[in-house]
A and B are shown apart, each in its own frame.
Chain A
Amino acid sequence: MCVEKHKRGRRSIVYDMTICNLVRGDRALALSVPNDTALRQRLRALGIQAGARFTVLKVTAFRGVYLLRTECATVAVGARLAAAVEVRRL
């Protein structure tokens, strides 16, 4: 769940945000990743885990693949996986 502040300090209604909502150049904080153990460990090894920060380097045509720069790797994630990782834009 994500909360955005408006200019006057009022908070908007919470909504879900995933990697799919990000654009090139956005910095984000990962909030949750899929539950599959092996996939979660693979993502952790590549630097995508709850609490990790990353930058969106590129979004391919038709938002098929997202190229992310984590602290330790440059990772390409597909659209389905991107929709399963909840984030907060920094």
Chain B
Amino acid sequence: MKLLLVGNPNAGKSTLFNRLTGGHAHVGNWHGVTVGALERPLRGQRRVTAVDLPGLYSLEGYSMEERSACDYLRAHPQAPAAFVCECAALPRNLALLAGVAAGRRCVLVLTKRRRFLREGGYVSPAGLERCLGIPVLDAERRNIGAELLARLPPTPAVVRTALSVDGYRAAPAKLGFFDRLFTCGPFCIPFFVLLLAAVLLFTFAPGLPGDWMRSAIDRAFLLLAAQARRIPSPVFSGLLADGICAGMGGVLGFLPQIAMLFFVLIVLEESGFLSRLAMLTDGVFSKIGLNGRAAFSLVMGFGCTAAAIAATRGLADRAVQRRTVLCLPYISCSAKLPVYLTVAASMFRRPFLAVVLLYALGVAIALFVARCSAPRDPPPFCMELAPLQLPRPVFVAKALFFQIKQFIIKTATVILAFFLLSWLLASFDASFHPCTVENSMLAALCGWLRWLFAPVGMNDWRMAYAALSGLVAKENVAGAIAMFYGAFPYGWESALAFSVFILTCSPCISAIAAAAREVGAGRAALYAVMQTLSALLACYATYFICAGGAACAPFVLLPAAAVLLIRKKRRERVPCKRSDYLEKVYGQHLCAGVVLSADAAEKPRRPRKRRPRCGRRPACPGRYGALLHDARAGGAFRLLRTVCRRKRDRRR
């Protein structure tokens, strides 16, 4: 039997799902966290499967996630439902409750009751049962799972959509001090920027806790590597010291810093700050073809690109979703942090500023790409604001522990497998004899890659291999550099160009898979190829500007300016024999910067001679002409010259 958890977004369905099943569904204090149906058997009740559905406001479905929830409800018309509703939102949910409960067994589960009572409201489950006609439960009770199954009615009931005073009284609505503060744009957005900068400083600056913990882990792996070199067998000692300790140590050393970044993101999610950020950024985002709701995905992109791409399902419009998926890879995720720090450490004594600049550059490129990708009017922005609250320590700890566990599992499986394979291929030749890296199987397979970064002063196939290994997992780049070189071996121009490549390159395979699920496999593959090629060009351009100096910048910017100035105007043509006159007119319209006079462009027309109507003469079959784009007419299309079809055929 399936038990569907249905309700408005941010009602507490995923939290209830985790309590009922022991699962780890992603929870957060913003609307649109759950984007797909999650199924899991109940604790102690293997016959019953709980299904966590995305939130919905109506049975029509406005956004994509809502429509998927509505489709699931229609596909399971007989499945019992637990309608999860927060106490403060009960009056507006009555119509939806009646619609969901029509023809199916239904129980109402009330959430956030303590907060509602604190704000001055009153709710009585017993009183609500009498006026609504279905069982009503409080989600904050201990044994909610067993009670929920026990209280399911045997047959569907008709819900009465009227509330009485003895069952419910609304809390007075008010906007508190912090609500007013965090909905103030001049405070909220700089606060967010400074918060991110402070997190990066606390995490990466030398002499602070993030740096201490990373140094401690690096020292531990160095000790392990030293012990491994004492093993008599050269193969095993090389595998442990050069393969596992160097590669894995180069990745696991960043675990404390990544954990700190995830901690801040989880606190932002839990506090309700993201809703306010989405509201305040909608004005800017709508100018570049996005939507305020895209702010959720963009902020999540600082943690994991794959999760951020999945969150775009909460957008109402496919075109906006595609544009958001296109620009998300430019937001630096947590996996790119080890790469930036590895590369920046060779450029700067204080890599903090370099990392902050790369983050800012990534956000700027993301917004620029969104603006350039054929913007059109985004769908109307309409969003409920999540309540501001202090993050609950239990939820923050659980979410942080889950992210750390995921990182360690990924390191211990995907990244470890990659380093083992890389070490094997780099330490043996084709006949499996130990050899140097230059004579190894890896050199034979990847030697041709050295041309990839030769224009940026890195004429070494190992750097290209390290860069392309980021397509599997971005952490591999840092580990591969540590395995082959120890530290980044080139100068600051090459380091900056390499960082720009990593910043603008296609995301890892899991993010590409998430994009394929949202926008289609063909489009996701096209995005990945375009991003990799454009990353390569950006890398070359960065090195060219850095090595050539600022004097070379005009030679890079002038062609771009010329392309923008000399644009081909769009025109529509109907079938017509092109004459010299039309060629001249069209040619004059090509240059956007040239001022045209409509009188000069138009040939003076001769007055039309009226011919006497003749009964034998057929009616004019129609006129043909050329519709050209006239800059002087405000960009409108004008029919500049028309030719009668009969005359045109006669000329032919």
Interface residues of A (CB under 8 A from B): 34, 37-39, 41-47, 57-58, 60-62, 64-65, 67, 69, 71-81, 84
Contact = CB atoms under 8 A, between A and B. Distances in A.
Nearest to B291: A78
Q: Which of A64, A77, A79 has the most CB of B within 10 A?
A: A64
Nearest to A81: B380
A78 B89 contact: no
A45 B92 contact: yes
B25 to A, nearest CB: 23
A80 B279 contact: no
A15 to B, nearest CB: 23
A73 B89 contact: yes
B135 to A, nearest CB: 23
Lowest 10 A-B CB distances belong to which pairs?
A64-B283, A78-B381, A45-B57, A81-B380, A41-B58, A72-B92, A76-B279, A38-B62, A42-B62, A74-B385
A77 B292 CA distance: 10
A87 B562 CA distance: 48
Nearest to B184: A58
Contacts of B414: none
B58 A42 contact: yes
Contacts of A61: 185-186, 283
B382 A67 contact: no
B602 interface: no
B60 A77 contact: no
B314 to A, nearest CB: 13
Contact of A79 (B95, B96, B280, B283): B283
A72 B173 CA distance: 9
Interface string B303-342: 0000000000000000000000000000000000000000
Contact of A47 (B92, B282, B283): B92
Contacts of B286: 64, 78-80
B357 interface: no
Contacts of B92: 45-47, 71-73
B635 interface: no
A76 B383 contact: yes
B393 to A, nearest CB: 26
A44 B58 contact: yes
B381 A81 contact: yes
B574 interface: no
B71 interface: no
B294 to A, nearest CB: 12
Contacts of B283: 60-62, 64-65, 78-79
Interface SS majority for chain A: mixed
B422 interface: no
Contact of A65 (B170, B175, B186, B279): B279
A45 B282 contact: no
A21 B95 CA distance: 31
Contact of A75 (B61, B96, B282, B383): B383
Interface in B262-290: 275, 278-280, 282-284, 286
B525 to A, nearest CB: 31
Nearest to A37: B60
Contacts of A38: 58, 60-62
B382 A42 contact: yes
Contacts of A73: 89, 92, 384-385
Contacts of A47: 92
A73 B92 CA distance: 9
Contacts of A76: 275, 278-279, 282, 292, 381-385
B183 interface: yes
Contacts of A80: 286, 377, 380-381
A79 to B, nearest CB: 7
B382 A69 contact: no
A49 to B, nearest CB: 10
A71 B170 CA distance: 9
A83 to B, nearest CB: 10
Contacts of B62: 38-39, 41-42
B491 interface: no
A88 to B, nearest CB: 21
Interface in B10-69: 57-58, 60-62
29 contacts: A39-B382, A42-B58, A44-B58, A44-B95, A45-B92, A58-B183, A60-B185, A60-B283, A64-B282, A64-B284, A65-B279, A65-B280, A67-B385, A72-B88, A72-B92, A75-B382, A75-B383, A75-B384, A76-B278, A76-B279, A76-B292, A76-B384, A78-B282, A78-B382, A80-B377, A81-B380, A81-B381, A81-B382, A84-B380
Nearest to A44: B58
A13 B262 CA distance: 58
B91 interface: yes
A67 B57 CA distance: 19
A34 B8 CA distance: 22
